[in-house]
Amino acid sequence: MSQHLLTLTTENFDATLAEGVTLVDFWAPWCGPCQMLTPILENQVAPAMAGRAKIGKVNVDEARDLAVKFGIRSIPALLIFKNGQLVQQMVGLQSADVLIKALEAAL
């Protein structure tokens, strides 16, 4: 994973999301649309939001408890948090423009 994307686990999830705005991508290695989303996050969304919002990824196979906690039934699922509170949820492959606008609205 790139330097722009944080790997989120059960252990670091709450602390990482406690302050500021964070986009969390719930994904799995076997998910085609998830694989298509990663470069969008790395190359477009993360640079556009640098210093203003964090981008994290949760592997649903490795962190099933987080997927269950947030009711993730389809991936990719993109959740936006502000100061630890869920403010928006999207399912499916999204464009960089849609994600950047959603993050800017949450700031």
Catalytic machinery residues:
31, 34
Q: Where are the beta strands (DSSP E) in the chain?
A: 5-7, 21-27, 53-59, 77-82, 85-91
Q: Using CA atoms of 102, 79, 18, 53 in order, give the dihedral in degrees to the nearest 10.
A: -40
Contact at 8 Å (CB) between 55 and 4?
Answer: yes
Position 78, amino acid: L
Q: Pairing relation of β-strands 85-91 and 77-82?
A: antiparallel
